[in-house]
Amino acid sequence: MKFKSIITSASVVAISALALAGCGSSSSSSSSSSSSEKSSSSSSSSTTKVAKMTAGSKMKAGTYKLEEENYTYGYKTKFSITVNNKGKITKSNFDQVNKSGKSKVDDTSYNKKMKKGSGTDPKTYEPKLNKALEGAAATGNVGTIDVVSGATESSKTFQNYAQQLIQAAQAGNKATIKINNGAKMKDGTYKLNEKNYSHGYKVTFSITVKNNKITKSNYDNVNKNGKSKTTDASYNKQMKKIAKTDPKTYTPALNKALVKNSDPAKVDVVSGATESSNTFILYAEQLQNAAQKGDTKTITVDNMVFSE
């Protein structure tokens, strides 16, 4: 859970360097410049280097499970992770199964059609995503998991659900997470807050739902005084110079996009703010899941902060 928040510092040099990092892709949850199929295959599948965690709770040993309640086109997701005594994920088992319990990986007809249309298929991208979570993301650094080209939707589902399983593992909560996928969102206000500050800021996020539509989105990064990163003139100036965008520009743009679409999957990454955009989308998906269940309890993310 690197959680990709674009970073701030009192030092101009540090701000410049970190702004560049915020524009990058290798540490983001999906390194595309939009929600289209621009991302490359997961880079974490080819490396086992694990970043050092500097804040956040280590995952507790055990097996943690998540399951969708509803079938979509004949399949639903079942996902589990196994964590060892060192707080590392040793096994990731993300799969999509039909009512007979058979995996989409083994659906020859489906794989053939998808391969022809998008250049990949479940028997290719599912192992790749699982391997990524067992590799560079093993300590919970979901930010290292890239979208697999040709499988954007499934990749983002994987990232979202992996994040929720990691949060459960941090708390040692082994109750199976139930996702009421495809259900209408229930009216109400749903909130999510990060627990830990990364370079002086943490995410606060809320959405308001009415008649299955997101009518208000309030995503922000705030410091210990509750001041928004959008008002940090020095940071905005430095990032604008390097990335051609800044928090006071991309933050309202992301909020506006979510209200317009009422679906995180349709929110495009803002050019120059890849990491913050991916954090936004990841957390928006979790809030959407809460709204589908009508669970208005504030989600507290014990966000892991990793060394650069």
Check whether residue 277 and residue 301 sit in a common domain: yes
What range defines the domain where residue 284 resides? 184-307
| Predicted structure pTM score | 0.83
Amino acid letter at 79? F
Mean pLDDT over 15-37 rounds to 36
- The CATH number of the domain holding residue 190 is 3.90.1010.20
281 three-state secondary structure: helix
Same domain, yes or no, for 235 and 143?
no
pLDDT, tens digit (0-9, with 9 covering 90-100), for 220-253:
999 999 999 999 999 999 999 999 999 999 999 9
Q: Is the pLDDT of residue 179 over 90?
A: yes
**What pLDDT digit, counting tens, does each position of 6-20 carry?**
333 333 333 334 443
- Domains: count for the chain: 2
- Domain end point (choices 149, 181, 213): 181
- Strand segments (E) across the chain: 53-55, 62-68, 76-83, 89-97, 177-179, 188-194, 202-210, 213-222, 299-301, 305-306
DSSP string across 201-250? BEEEEEEEEETTEEEEEEEEEE-TT--BGGG-HHHHHHHHHHHS--HHHH
Tell me the average pLDDT of the chain.
87
Pairwise CA distance, residues 192 & 204, whole Å: 6
* Helix or strand run (H / E) with residue 107: none
Last residue of one domain, picked from the residues 181, 197, 215: 181
Query: Containing H/E element for 111?
Result: helix 108-118
297-300 LR contacts (CB < 8 Å, sep 24+): 298/191, 298/192, 298/193, 299/190, 299/191, 299/192, 299/193, 300/192, 300/193, 300/195
Q: With contact defined as beta carbons under 8 Å apart, do 228 and 221 qualify?
A: yes
Closest CA to 142 of 162, 122, 121: 162
**Residue 299 amino acid letter:** I
Does a structural domain hold residue 101?
yes
- Domain boundary at 181, 205, 221, which? 181
